[in-house]
Amino acid sequence: MSQFTSPVAVLNAAGVVNRIQAKLPDMPAAMAKIGAFLLEHPHAPLELSILELAGQTKTSPATVTRFCRLLGYAGYVPFRVSVASDAGRSDARESWKVDIGRAFGPDDSARDVLSTLVNAHTRSLEETAAVMDLALMDKIARRIAMSTHVDIYGIGGSAVMAKELQSRLYRIGINAHHWSEVHAGLTSAAIQDANSVAIGISNTGRTEETIQMLREAGEAGALTVALSNNPGSPLAESADAAIITSVHEQFLQPDDLSAKHVQLLVLDMIYLLVAQVNFSQTTSKLAASAIAVSPHRRPTRAARLELANHRGGRNAGTGQSHV
């Protein structure tokens, strides 16, 4: 990553449980034992020394230290501090287990389902907002505003997010394009240059096609930006700048919609910051596009009444009547 990446934002973007869940599939067997134990006993580091945790997981203190470093901590002590911080936030909302860490059951009432969804989505939005590096977001927005070309890559569900950002940026005068098919995306990525910005969107950060397209754009000279829930993912690590979201995936679907909500928060923030940079252009472009589509929108009831009154007054003045 280049000077655009904020290490603090990447390391602190998600809670300990989220980091373990994101890293677990790629962990060596010994570290995976520690990860699985901590997912089952998330507060264990508050009570166990490094030697005791190694004993409980049948590993070694050195493996525990490597585990902590894999998650982005310098060692076991800062790892315990982060666990304690998470525990404090969790206590304020009763507990992670009660509030968020429960999967849906077949007998849950609609009220229970709604409550769990609201808690999960709200927590994801709050945590993402809390760790958002606003200075980094400003830098990215300014580069987009001054760029000659913006590519946005996303596959599957992330393609919807890529299209949403592209349509918003394009409407305010940014030469933006979205790509969800790897051959077309690679073709576009290969012709980027130092005046271009390329954004790759992937919740896991492990979608191979998105990684390939973003790397190709980077090799061509573009500023590359990764939007992901995984700070240690190949996508985030290969980009010049990484924006990390916090998502609590505990439900039936493999791609939780709370991931889309936090991505939309980030994309909306980028859009608004770009609009601020080019404010005069933004307002004129939005006004022009609003006028262009206005004939295709039904007027509001108030507007129809005002038009009817206007016509009635005009016809009364000329002695004409409507039947």
Mean pLDDT for all residues in the chain = 82
3-state helix, strand, coil in the chain (%, to 5): 60, 10, 30
Better-scored residue on pLDDT, 267 or 112 = 267
Q: 150: which DSSP letter? A: E
Helices within 153-300 (DSSP H only): 157-171, 182-189, 208-219, 234-238, 257-277, 279-293
Q: Is pLDDT larger for residue 14 or for residue 128?
A: 128
Taking the alpha carbons at both ends of the chain, their separation in whole angstroms is 72
Q: Are the C-beta atoms of 177 and 166 separated by less than 8 Å?
A: yes
Q: Is pLDDT at 249 greater than 70 in this prediction?
A: no
Q: Tell me what pLDDT residue 261 has.
A: 84
* DSSP conformation class of 298: P
Res 120 pLDDT > 90: no
Highest averaged pLDDT of the listed ranges 9-18, 187-196, 235-244, 292-301? 187-196
The residue-averaged pLDDT of 107-122 equals 80
Q: Which of 9-18, 77-86, 286-295 has the lowest mean pLDDT?
A: 9-18
pLDDT at position 99, please?
42
pLDDT in tens, 160-187: 999 999 999 999 999 999 999 999 999 9
Hey, where are the domains in the chain?
Answer: 7-93, 134-277, 283-318
- Interval 269-299: pLDDT, tens: 999 999 998 888 888 887 888 888 888 887 7
- Give the pLDDT confidence score for residue 311 in this predicted structure: 67
**The CATH classification of domain 7-93, taken from the options 3.40.630.10, 1.10.10.10, 1.10.357.10, 3.40.50.2000:** 1.10.10.10
Strand partners, 192: none
What is the residue type of 2?
Answer: S
Which residues share a beta bridge with 197? 150, 223
How confident is the model over 36-49, as a mean pLDDT? 90
Q: Is the pLDDT of residue 253 over 70?
A: no
Higher-scoring residue by pLDDT: 141, 299:
141
Q: Using the structure block, give the residue that is written with the tokens 């596959």.
A: 155
Phi, psi of 286 (to 5 degrees): -65, -40
Helix or strand (DSSP H, E) at 152: strand 149-154
CATH of 134-277, one of 1.20.58.1030, 3.40.50.10490, 3.40.50.720, 3.30.70.2190: 3.40.50.10490
- pLDDT over threshold 70, residue 231: yes
Q: CB under 8 Å to 2, separation ≥6 — which residues?
A: 240, 241
